[in-house]
Amino acid sequence: MSEFDHDHDEGRGVSRRRVLECMTWAGTGVLWTISGGVPRSLGLVGSAQAAAPAGLTFLQISDSHIGFDKPANPNAIGTLEEAINKIKSMPAKPSFMIHTGDITHLSKASEFDNAERIISQAKLDVHYVPGEHDFIDEEVRLYRERYGRGTKGVGWYSFDANGVHFIGLVNVVNLKAGGLGNLGTEQLEWLEDDLKGRSKSTPIVVFAHIPLWTVYPTWGWGTEDGARALDYLKGFGSVTVLNGHIHQVMQKVEGNVTFHTARSTAFPQPAPGTAPSPGPMKVADGKLRGLLGVASINFKPGDQRLAIIDTPLQG
Amino acid sequence: MMMSVTLRSLDVRSLGIRLAVAAAILLQLGGAHAHAEETNVMIDNFTFEPAQLTVKVGTTVTWKNRDDIPHIVVSAGKFRSKALDTDDSYSFTFTAAGDYKYFCSLHPHMTGMIKVE
């Protein structure tokens, strides 16, 4: 570990920093930029500074739940449109987007179509991973027909961009009674193989729907075999894990690994244990958009020792 | 029958009521053989209520989803609902005795059991 303790020793090279700033933004997601191999947040998308970032910039959106029309947000289509409009108006165009699942609410063809129609207006490549809501059509084929091309198993894959290795995982199938999210042996073996021989200085970004770390098992917020995946990531200088599913921002930093969950574009969910269930949280109309996206916590720029943060980030 | 009619009572109205009650109970008992029993499991707040239920062979159990989130009721190898949206329900008739553990395949921390006797 000691070699990673010199975060700001300029002689060490940026790729060993474990600095990650993160700010979220009203309406959809987190804008990430990777400069010298380290993911850093650019801050609020809606107010992104004009200064164009060097390196790679990408965006994360999550949990659009197209088809949801319950009191917590009767217009999930509208809030996704608002999110995409903000992305379109960004002064610095990101290189691509990732969507961390629950694109739809009920895996209906019309829901996938609406999501695609809206998200495509951002005119960005989008790398998807499925949420459990994207796999509930009778034949479990609509997601895979649309987004499964070129993926392994039920939809996992990896790709490289600007020297960063991105890994999209699926932890929403074959869930076991009483358990949490699940990657499964086949996917874990693929992951081990995918990382084999890769330089430890390669920055890694892993994204999946359900948090890979255990957020709150009582509500199923975690991944049963997530620790095995993280074992394979040990030794890499910079690992960033991006998830959705819990419809709120949480972050923790553990050694060289930063875990982050993004807000939903559709509806908020309660902080762990603060409600009888993790179901959609109805708030006053005027507060909804704030909960869908207002930045709740940020790490100060240059903060080198990021504490492990297990508490929910309040909006 | 516990419902022995006390003929000592001279209150005709009372007797009539007692006979009616007895008849109703007999009807109900007879119905148990003629018609399958039905019972419900409510899904509220990501919980099956009751989480454990004991029923007789032939009973039809209906799960009703009252959450704003879909659930899927699954007993491995035994039964599986489609995705139940808000206010959707799913019924299964238990024709064999046994313990049927089940869960929600979308939210696997939700578990329940039907004991069929």
Report chain B residues whose CB lies below 8 A from the CB of A133: 70, 106
Query: Is A136's Cβ below 8 Å from some Cβ in B?
Result: yes
Residue of A nearest to B86 (CA): A70
Instruction: List the structure tokens of B4.
Output: 């022995």
Cβ-Cβ contacts under 8 Å between A and B: the total is 57
- Closest to B103 (Cβ–Cβ): which among A178, A180, A219? A178
Which residues make Cβ contacts (< 8 Å) with residue A51, sequence separation at least 6?
none
- What does pLDDT average to over chain B? 82
Confidence of residue B9 (pLDDT cuts 50, 70, 90): very low
Render each residue's pLDDT in chain A as its tens digit; 315 residues: 333 333 333 333 333 333 333 333 333 456 655 554 455 554 444 444 444 334 677 888 999 999 999 999 999 999 999 888 888 887 878 889 899 999 999 999 999 999 999 999 999 999 999 999 999 999 999 999 999 999 999 999 999 988 889 999 999 999 999 999 999 999 999 999 999 999 998 888 999 999 999 999 999 999 999 999 999 999 888 888 999 999 998 888 888 888 889 889 999 999 999 999 999 999 998 888 877 732 222 223 233 322 223 222 233
Write out the H or E segment, with its range, that includes residue A82: helix A76-88
Q: Nearest CA to CA, how far is B86 from chain A (Å)?
A: 9
pLDDT at B32 over 60: no
Instruction: List the structure tokens of A43.
Output: 């801050």
Name which residue leads in pLDDT, A182 or B31.
Answer: A182
Report chain B residues whose CB lies below 8 A from the CB of A279: 45-46, 67-69
Report chain B residues whose CB lies below 8 A from the CB of A180: 108-109
Query: Is A107's Cβ below 8 Å from some Cβ in B?
Result: yes
pLDDT tens column, A130-169: 999 999 999 999 999 999 999 999 999 999 988 889 999 9
Task: Map out the domains of chain B as residue ranges.
Answer: 38-116
Strand order in the sheet with B98-104: B52-55, B111-116, B98-104, B73-75, B79-80
DSSP states of B25-42: HHHHHHHHHHS--EEEEE
CATH topology for the B38-116 domain? Immunoglobulin-like (2.60.40)
Query: Is B62's Cβ below 8 Å from some Cβ in A?
Result: no
Using a 10 angstrom Cβ sphere, with 0-12 exposed, 13-18 middle and 19 or more buried, the burial of residue A194 is middle
Q: Are the Cβ atoms of A179 and B46 closer than 8 angstroms?
A: no
Residue of B nearest to A135 (CA): B106
Instruction: List the structure tokens of A247.
Output: 């419809």
Q: Poorest-confidence range of A9-13, B6-10, B27-31, B60-64?
A: A9-13
- Closest to B86 (Cβ–Cβ): which among A70, A136, A276? A70
pLDDT tens column, B62-116: 999 999 999 999 999 999 999 999 999 999 999 999 999 999 999 999 999 999 9
User: Which of A68, A277, A281 is the best residue to mutate to test the B interface, defined by the most B CB atoms within 10 Å of its own CB?
Assistant: A277
From the list A34, A57, A15, the residue with the least C-alpha distance to A200 is A15
* Dihedral sign of CA atoms A180, A188, A134, B88 in order: negative
pLDDT at B10: 43
Is residue A102 within 8 A of residue A65, CB to CB? The reply is yes
Q: How many CA atoms lie within 13 Å of A167's alpha carbon, on the beta-carbon side?
A: 25
pLDDT at A47: 42
- C-alpha A179: how far from chain center: 21
Q: What is the pTM of this model?
A: 0.78
Is residue A77 within 8 A of residue A105, CB to CB? The reply is no
pLDDT at A17: 34
